Structures are given as C-alpha cells and as structure tokens.
Amino acid sequence: MTRSFVFTNHKGGVGKSTSATNIALGMVNVLRRANATNCRVLIIDTDSQGHASLVTTGRKDYGADDSLYTVLMADRPNAPQTMINCIVPSQWDADLHVLPASPMLEGAERELMGVAGAPYRLADPLSKIAGQYAAVVIDTRPSFSLMTEMGLLAATDAIVPVEPRYLETVGLTSVIQKINDIREGWRHPNLRVSGLLVTKMDTRVRGHNHLLAELKAHPVLGKLLLGVIPANEAVSYAHRDHQSLFTYDPRASASKAYVQVVASLVRYMSQAGA
Ligand SMILES: Nc1ncnc2c1ncn2[C@@H]1O[C@H](COP(=O)(O)OP(=O)(O)OP(=O)(O)O)[C@@H](O)[C@H]1O
Ligand SMILES: [Mg+2]
C-alpha cells in the first residue's frame, strides 16, 4: 500500500510546506539511488495560499480546470481521471509530481459545506491512483478546516511540524487529539501520527534547548520525535529561487537534517510493506 504523509499543524509558519516539499523530493532521490522500480512521489497541495505549488512548479495561479479544486468539483465517477489530468510534473524532478492548489479552494470549502461525502472528495479519487506512486505527500493550510480534514482523511500517516517555541504540550496535544478524532470519529482507523518534526531549531536559544529536552523526556510525545531541523537561512534563499534545499545547498544544515528524516521515512515505508 502506498503511504500518504499529511503535514499538518493549525499553527501558521511552522514549516509544513518547506518540510512537505523537500521531504517529497528527498524521497524521490533516495528511492532512485536504491534503484527502486517506482521512484515517483506526488505532492498534493490543499492550501489555497499555494506555497508548495509555487516553489515546486513556479506557479500558484491554478484555477477551475487544472487544480485540486477541479478534482473536488468533479462528478464522483470522473474524479480519479480528473485527478490524473490535473497532476503536473514539478520543476524540481521529473519523478516529483504535483496536484496544485488554487486560490479557488478558499471558496470550495463553502461550496462543499454540507454536501454529502464532501470530506472524502480527496481520499476517494486518491485511493484509485495512489498505487502509481511510491509515496504521497499532502500539504495543508494552517487551520482545522474542511480542506485539512480532507487531507487527513486521504492520509495514512500524519506528521506534525512544530517550532520549538510552540513545543508546549497543550498545543501539541490538541493537534494529536484532532488526528485521533479523525481516526476514531470518521472511521479512518489506519491514520496514525507517525512523527513530530521540530523545525527552526536554534541551539543558541536557551528556551529552544529546554523545550526540546522536555519533549524528548515526555513519555508519549518523546517517542514520536521524527527529527530536528535547524533554523537555517538557506531555507528562505531556496524559497526565493523556487529551488529545493538540496539543489540550493546540499551542505546546508537544514538539508542534512532533512536527509536524515527522509532516510527514516523511507525505512518506515519499506517496513510498512509499501
Ligand atoms: N528550518 C528553517 N529555517 C529557517 N527558516 C525556515 C525554516 N523552515 C521554514 N522557514 C521559513 O519559515 C516560513 C514559513 O515556512 P513554511 O511556509 O514552510 O511554513 P508553513 O507551516 O507551511 O506556513 P503556513 O502555515 O503559512 O502554510 C518561510 O518563510 C520559510 O522560509
Ligand atoms: Mg504552508
């Protein structure tokens, strides 16, 4: 089964899109080096801001005919084919594909509110085509909205990026509680929280070190720690140039940290029988 990783946190600016896009490309690279028969990875951008679409494809002005919005509005029987038609190759790698967001997704939430089966309008068509990919990576907007619920329902694994200053247990517990609600309340028993990803870590800030130490010592959350990405200005320069971190500077501290996270996710995928 192809694993789908959703990057989610209702806090804004914590590194969801940076992590989703770079980890997706990292997976392609690792699979290719391992001579995997299928190295293709799909990014699904569910955020109307379209940051993941912009950095990976150079555009975020997708619309009614060529975006995730098109898929959500399609008649159910046509939705898988519509999804295939709207997926574009990224500018980062021929094996990294993108189902782009659209500013119209903002309105889609209202248009679909109350429509029966609306929350499954991403999960259902994705389940038909996910097998074409080695992995799927879903970026979400900073809210618990219908779009985010759709992302969670389409995923097998949730990864929660979090900045050290938001590492307080209360906020994290509410994200994890939301994921558990989706699993239990929506009968999506396979969804699991597969990791917390600490981002923008600055070891010179005493509070960051303190919070990270507390997280590591926490009996439940400590076990979920997937990796620690340092605060690194290479990230903003790479964004500015619409490049991946690995292309912009493979030796940057954040690149090296993402490589480690990718390695453990690919290991996890092979153990999970993907
Ligand atoms: N490791 C890092 N070091 C320095 N800056 C970073 C790092 N990760 C992300 N950033 C910067 O932080 C900002 C937010 O990152 P990003 O867009 O990935 O967060 P997000 O959680 O997707 O935001 P949103 O909630 O708005 O979707 C960007 O300007 C990005 O360049
Ligand atoms: Mg984002």
Nearest CA to ligand 1 atom 14: 13
Task: Tell me the one-letter amino acid at 232.
Answer: N
The answer to whether the pTM exceeds 0.85 is: yes
User: Digits of tens for pLDDT over the chain (274 positions)?
Assistant: 899 999 999 889 999 999 999 999 999 999 999 999 999 999 999 999 999 999 999 999 999 999 999 999 999 999 999 999 999 999 999 999 999 999 999 999 899 988 889 999 999 999 999 999 999 999 999 988 899 999 999 999 999 999 988 776 667 778 788 888 878 777 777 888 889 999 999 999 998 999 899 889 988 888 899 999 999 999 999 999 999 999 999 999 999 999 999 999 999 999 876 4
- The confidence score (pLDDT) of residue 169 equals 65
CA of 17 to the centre of ligand 1 (A): 7
Which residues lie near ion ligand 2 (Cβ < 5 Å)? 16-17, 51
CA of 225 to the centre of ligand 1 (A): 19
Distance (Å, whole) CA 181 – CA 179? 5
The residue with tokens 């002005």 is 61
Helix then strand then coil, in percent of the chain rounded to 5, is 50, 15, 35
Domains of the chain, first to last = 3-271 (3.40.50.300)
Q: In what order do the strands lie in the sheet with 96-99?
A: 88-89, 96-99, 41-45, 135-139, 3-7, 157-162, 192-201, 225-230
Q: What residues line ligand 1, using a CB cutoff of 6 Å?
A: 12-18, 47, 51, 142, 199-200, 229, 231-232, 235-236, 239, 254
Atom of ligand 1 nearest to the CA of 12: 25
Atom of ligand 1 nearest to the CA of 139: 22
- The confidence score (pLDDT) of residue 193 equals 86
- The confidence score (pLDDT) of residue 186 equals 73
